[in-house]
Structure 1
Amino acid sequence: MSLESPRMPLPPHLVAPDLVPEQQADNASAVYYPVSDTRMVAGEGIHLYDSDGRGYIDCASATFNLSLGYRHPAVIQAIKDQADQLIHVTSGFQTAPINALAHRLVQLAPKTISKAHLKVDGGSAANEGAVKMAQRITGRRDVITLFRSHVGQTVMMASLSGNAFRKQPLAQLYHGGLQVPDPYCMRCFYGQDPRSCGLMCVDRINDFLEFASSGSVAAVLVEPISGNGGNIVPPDGYFAALRELCDTHGMKLIFDEVQTGIGRTGRMFAAEHFSVDPDAITVAKGLGGSGAQVAAILTSDELAGLPTNDHSFTYGANLLAAAAALATLDVIDDPDFLANVRATGAHILGRLEALRSTHPHIADVRGVGLMIGVEIVDEARRPSAALTNRLAERALDHGLVIRTSRYGHGNVLKIRPPLVLTLEEADVICDRFTELLLAEGI
């Protein structure tokens, strides 16, 4: 296949807004956080366009939240239709979109799930709410998370992160966190071979409980596949062993599916891949389809009953977001759609794996569905965040938007395009990625 030029005119049906000169002059001067010099003006499907007419394939699905890509027609229409009726109402009243979304999520979730808490507006709030539920029902305090984990941005969730750099700026930390080694077989904390280790990464949690915890552990909060931590896929049997350990010690198992949920792995929930039923699942990001801000905590009957005043947010249970989520689920909850996610993901994995033998800076390629990671190392085979960041920056010149692990501290390139990807588009991604490696001489 010939490589499509990444520079292309903006499609005529996508009209970029014209800005008056005073708006153009210093548009980003009031923005608090750093932004690049590139100004994006339009998007459609997997494609994103800047003000210079340059087109990109967005391999990050924005912030991994555009599961259906830019401007998916079903999502846009659902938002427009709902806006004509009712945009928001206090969640103390019933509404058809919220009732329908809660029912639909419970139907799709593992059999342990019976309730959906929609009064949250993002992944951080969803994870924190699930922790509160576990603490309430167990009467305990501590939460176990994994090395490299990133479970949110609130003070509690940042404190529970498995990265020191996330905690360093905080003047005060939540002190109920306990981080344990993650199931990172390639760089096993215990120096073991996964074929003979006996899942030491689970078994040794018993030692952490006895010697490093407060003796009051409420829950284990874990991503089925690490999102920001490096796209680490646990070995077979890991979650079955973790479920058994939680049951033995009376701890609740919470799956953070903010990144893995809603079709990203080729199943509605990543829990399906591992044949484990958690006590709670958190979802956000991809549930909004084309960018609607929506999140949920899905729980068992046992975890139900947290008083509303203990965890509710004004813009949770928003009707526009619920309408978008229902439209998103209508699209993704289709066996053919999910089969295509698995097929395109396997195709990309196969092509990238083939590059490993000729590109020594690629140490590993791993993933499930369209949640793929490429681990980058230097000449001495050591993890190289610098090289990884350089590749992500230069990828823009080749028409690819790629993000890196651990907010630039990690050495994994994350390939997570919108789930509407076709096999032909998957090949374009791989062609451009190959061109990037060759251009950078690695």
Structure 2
Amino acid sequence: MDKGEGIYLYDIDGNEYIDCASATFNLSLGYSHPAVVKAMKDQADKLIHVTSSFQTEPINQLARKLVDLAPNRITKAHLKVSGGSVANEGAIKMAQRATGKRDVISLFRSHLGQTMMTANLSGNAFRKANFPLAIPGGLQVPDPYCFRCFYGQDSSSCNMMCVSRLDDFLEFASSGSVAAILVEPISGNGGNIVPPHGYFQKLRAFCDTHNIKLIFDEIQTGIGRTGYMFAAEYFEVEPDAITVAKGLGGSGAQVAGILASDELSGLSSSDHSFTYGSNILAASAALTTLDIISKPAFLKNVQETGAHILSRLERMKEKFAFVGDVRGVGLMIGIEIVDEKGKPDTILTNWLAEKAMEHGLILRTSRYGYGNVLKIRPPLILTLEEAEVICYKFESLLEEVMSV
């Protein structure tokens, strides 16, 4: 690849691609957003980095702004982390410290990071297969995957078994000492699974009953991706902590944070801080990103462009039998690919992702190629006209399947 601008990426031969993966789902404002680039250049002339032992105005401003934008329960921001994986680990430490308990519950198919701890908490066996060092205290439970319900139920009458059965897991599968439930509001790598309405209210009540902290991994769903600043707002729930990264950098700045309630605050810097956490250059990019994305008109555009793509995909679902399900919120959209029996078709999914580049689209698949969901998550600056171009190109890609 040679250069990028907005939603487009160009290779060294001059070919143009619409990046429907926003790089690694982190370019919320697309490639080289001029306001983000200017903010970083201006900050670079003053100070690029200083140890997080010192306070700086960009970091203080970023902490305040994140707390202001977050749900009411969130009162603190911990920015001494430089990536999503270590943000999740830090939130776990906070929950363990606050509760005095140990275990962490996560969901089937979850992707919580690449460090040893977060890989062990992953809801995918292949993530753990190559590493003999297993970290105790992780417990995976069925996710709210209504299209392929673990319990064989229908969402209209199941009474949220994926929450009500957690008492059994607590009693029979845990150590009896559960500190936190760490969950992606919409599964990022796991297949873009959108929980049914009411799921998080029941999960919040379960956590309150058992003194378990509810941590939202909003590394992919946060910072406007769903058409809301945080997916917690869309689902109308207040977690005890929210982790952020990826899209917070706007056009690729490496920045992350842990947003937490008063009860989870107070973690010592000796317990969780990193050399390139609280980086001033990254904070300047994040502040500009938040200024842009937090505007109501910007978030409304994310909702409208996402709704347009979902509507077009629903029509494609009627046309192409191998499209089993279409789901998403805002510009976090998934298309489930199935075979003639309705089973996951991983081979076709990966073929479509590879073939997409011939149609000028960059697509990512679920579960590192082990899954059967194509993901459409372009930069949030997408216009309705560009959304229609994506739909046209994607439908042309699907039509190619019929001719093979």
Q: Which residue of 1 aligns with 2:342?
A: 381
Give CA deviations for 1:168-196 in whole Å, capped at 9, x if unaligned: 11120111100000000010000011101
**1:340 equivalent in structure 2:** 301
2:154 is equivalent to residue 193 of structure 1? yes
Structure 2, unpaired ranges of 5+? none
Q: 1:75 aligns with which of 36, 41, 51?
A: 36
The yes-or-no answer on 1:226 pairing with 2:187 is: yes
Q: Shift in Å at residue 440 of structure 1?
A: 2.2
Aligned partners of 1:436 and 1:195: how far apart in 2?
A: 34
Which deviations, in whole Å up to 9, do the C-alpha atoms of 1:253-278 show, x marking residues without a partner? 00000000000000000000111100
Using the alignment, how far apart are the partners of 2:101 and 2:113 within structure 1? 21
- 1:97 corresponds in structure 2 to 58
> 1:93 & 1:84 partners in 2: Cα distance?
19
CA distance in 2, matches of 1:88, 1:325: 15
Q: Does 1:432 align with 2:389?
A: no
1 CA distance for matches of 2:55 and 2:155? 50
**Partner in structure 2 of residue 31 of structure 1:** none
Query: After TM superposition, which residue ranges in structure 1, 4 or more long, deviate above 2 angstroms?
Result: none
- In structure 1, stretches of 5+ residues that fail to align are 1-39
Partner SS, residue 428 of structure 1 = helix
Match of 2:206 among 233, 238, 245: 245
Q: 1:12 maps to what in 2?
A: none
- Deviation of 1:344 (Å): 0.1
Is the counterpart of residue 152 in structure 1 residue 113 in structure 2?
yes
TM-score (norm 2): 0.99
Paired residue type of 2:398: L
- Superposed displacement of residue 68, structure 1: 0.2
Deviations 1:331-361 (A, max 9, x none): 1010000000000000000001101111000
Distance 1:438 1:243 in 2: 43
Identify the match of residue 212 of structure 1 among 158, 162, 173: 173
Counterpart AA for 1:256: D
Question: How far apart, CA to CA, are the structure 2 residues paired with 1:146 and 1:380?
Answer: 26
1:353 aligns with 2:321: no
Residue of 74, 78, 81 corresponding to 1:120: 81
Encode CA deviations 1:208-235: one digit per residue, 9 max, x unaligned. 0000000010000001100000000000
1:24-63 → structure 2 map (5 Å cutoff) = 40-63=1-24
1:165 maps to: 126
Q: In the TM superposition, what is the alpha-carbon distance from 1:381 to its structure 2 partner? A: 1.4
Give the letter for the 1:441 counterpart: M
Hey, what's the Cα distance between the residues in 1 that align with 2:322 and 2:77?
A: 44
Q: 2:362 aligns with which of 396, 401, 425?
A: 401
Show the counterpart of 1:308: 269
TM-score relative to the length of structure 1: 0.91
Deviation at residue 119 of structure 1 after TM alignment: 0.3
Aligned length: 403
**In the alignment, structure 1 residue 322 sits paired with structure 2 residue 283:** yes
**1:83 Cα deviation after fit:** 0.0
Write out aligned runs for 1:133-144 (5 A): 133-144=94-105
Distance 1:358 1:91 in 2: 55
Q: What code does the residue aligned with 2:131 have? A: L
Percent of residue pairs identical: 72
Paired letter, 1:132: K
**Residue type at the aligned position of 1:427:** E
SS at match of 1:302: helix
**1:54-90: CA deviation from partner (whole Å, max 9, x where unpaired):** 0000000000000000010110000000000000001
